[in-house]
A and B are shown apart, each in its own frame.
Chain A
Amino acid sequence: MTLGVVWALWLRQMKRYARSRARIVGSLGQPLLFLVALGFGFGPVFQRAGQGDYIQFLAPGVICMTILFTAIFNGIELIWDRQFGFLKETLVAPVPRLTIMVGRTLGGATVSLIQGVVVAVICLVAGFRPIGLGAMPEAFVFMALVALMFTALGTAMASVMEDFQGFQLVMNFLVMPTFFLSGALFPLTNVPPLIGGIAAVDPLSYGVDGVRGALTGVFHFGVATDLVVLVILTSVCLVAGSYLFSRIQL
């Protein structure tokens, strides 16, 4: 694998990201809304139910939401490249497709990770208090895994999608349920068995739990479970993404 190519494709994603100011600002609006409306709106109820400060609980969920949405979008951006033709330029280059896929995915994952960090900072401003600075690297590892997993998943889906018609489908039937049923918004203890069961097979649950556990010290599944599940699922997504990407026909 040529590192020069991976680096060049990664750099391309960074430049595109840095130049799309509207997209950066726009994509921060949603997490901010969740934080303000849900965080402050449900805060008193949450408190009274004896669960403590809702912002403390919600912030890791909102950080993961940002990473999930940005990562899926970055993966799906492949359709855009197919559309505007740049994909062809990379596919006729004397480089194995795996290298192209790795460069793209690392670029997309980095972008979503940056977005996640920006939202984390916003959460701090809004009153979120992690247990200590030592929690940051641990949380960062979980955030990076979530970013990588969903960028690879987005790439995998975009590889088999011809146009944007399917994008809405993916958003409504995959991304939204993944987010809402992951325990990002509510504690998974004491939920009905059905919801608990769904959450247990939802990959994002483990990401949210990992980030939340690292930042607040309270895990639901446990740090080892989170890490093992995420590493396995991320690998599966990367392999599936690479395979489907290698089969793209123009």
Chain B
Amino acid sequence: MKTFGDITAVRDVSFAVEAGEMFAFLGPNGAGKTTTIKMLTTLLTPTSGSVEVDGQDPATHAISVRRKFGIVFQDPSLDQELTAAENMRLHAALYAVPKTARDDRIERLLKLFELWDRRDSLVKQFSGGMRRRLEIARGLLHTPKILFLDEPTLGLDPQTRNQLWVLVRQLNEQEGVTIFLTTHYMDEAERVAQRIAIIDHGAIVAEGSAAALKERTSTGTLEEAFLALTGTTIREEPGSGLDQMRNMAKMWSGRR
């Protein structure tokens, strides 16, 4: 459980993700997805309850838990004034990737994500899709066991989305990276995830494979199953100061 003052963001979220699994975490806006990810990734500590990531508690073993995962945040976290290669090298320094392995790994990842030719371009000149690919490449640089993807395909065109999931699935199958993802696109979740959990009002309302969820709600598509489980009311998310700033930043970067 996690409370912020009077507001309870997450109250009853119990689940386990198997190593090597692709696990999708779905829910309407404000359901508690990002709060849950923040608790898993040491950015927030739960008010009550326990969390374990690869056998360790993120609240007490923050540093060693952080070595185990890579994360692609809901909104961008690259330094736009640096080049793609510089962003990668900075990440390598933060995660103490050995110098000998560093350059090989950067080259391999940038080639895999088709960014090698643009490695010396500033990130601010990149398209949304390229930035996303670079963030995922960066998140994998320290060879994490787990990759968190918080709405990684938001705002991307179908081609880029497709390419991105092909790459992510490849990583999962070939390197055994556990994938924990959130998305609003039900077709994506159905396509890539072996198991799905649906969260609403801070609690998990259903968990299982896409087929099991459809069967349970006797619906034809995952989207219908999702609506059957979470209702059709539109959720209002209060705009925080941070959201307002994000909008301001969008305007600024648009002008440049």
A contacts, CB < 8 Å to B: 2, 4-5, 7-9, 12, 15-16, 19-20, 79, 82-96, 162-165, 249-250
A-B pairs with lowest CB-CB distance, top 10: A8-B93, A85-B77, A93-B94, A94-B66, A162-B241, A89-B77, A163-B245, A94-B67, A163-B241, A88-B77
Contacts A85-B73, A92-B71 given: A5-B94 contact, CB under 8 Å? yes
With a cutoff of 8 Å between Cβ atoms, the chain B residues found around residue A20 in the complex are 81
With a cutoff of 8 Å between Cβ atoms, the chain B residues found around residue A93 in the complex are 66, 91, 94-95
Q: How many whole Å from B81's CB to the nearest CB in chain A?
A: 5
Contact B248 A5, beta carbon cutoff 8 Å = no
Stretch at the interface among B15-23, B38-46, B108-116: B38-46
Q: How many whole Å from A9's CB to the nearest CB in chain B?
A: 8
* Residues from 89 to 128 in B contacting A, C-beta threshold 8 Å: 89-91, 93-96, 122
Q: How many whole Å from A96's CB to the nearest CB in chain B?
A: 7
Query: 24 A–B contact pairs at CB < 8 A?
Result: A5-B96, A8-B90, A8-B94, A9-B90, A12-B82, A12-B90, A79-B245, A83-B245, A83-B246, A84-B76, A84-B79, A84-B80, A85-B76, A85-B77, A86-B79, A92-B41, A92-B71, A94-B94, A94-B95, A96-B63, A162-B242, A163-B244, A163-B248, A250-B43
Contact B44 A15, beta carbon cutoff 8 Å = no
CA distance A19 to B83 in the complex (A): 11
Across the interface, name the chain A residue whose C-beta is closest to B74.
Answer: A85
Contact A164 B73, beta carbon cutoff 8 Å = no
CA distance A16 to B66 in the complex (A): 27
With a cutoff of 8 Å between Cβ atoms, the chain A residues found around residue B67 in the complex are 94
Contact B78 A85, beta carbon cutoff 8 Å = yes
CA distance A89 to B76 in the complex (A): 9
Across the interface, name the chain A residue whose C-beta is closest to B63.
Answer: A94
Q: How many whole Å from B127's CB to the nearest CB in chain A?
A: 17
With a cutoff of 8 Å between Cβ atoms, the chain A residues found around residue B80 in the complex are 84
Contact B66 A86, beta carbon cutoff 8 Å = no
* Residues from 32 to 67 in B contacting A, C-beta threshold 8 Å: 38, 41-44, 63-64, 66-67
Inter-chain pairs besides A4-B93, A83-B242, A84-B249, 11 sampled, C-beta below 8 Å: A9-B90, A12-B90, A16-B79, A16-B81, A87-B77, A89-B78, A89-B79, A89-B138, A91-B43, A162-B241, A162-B242
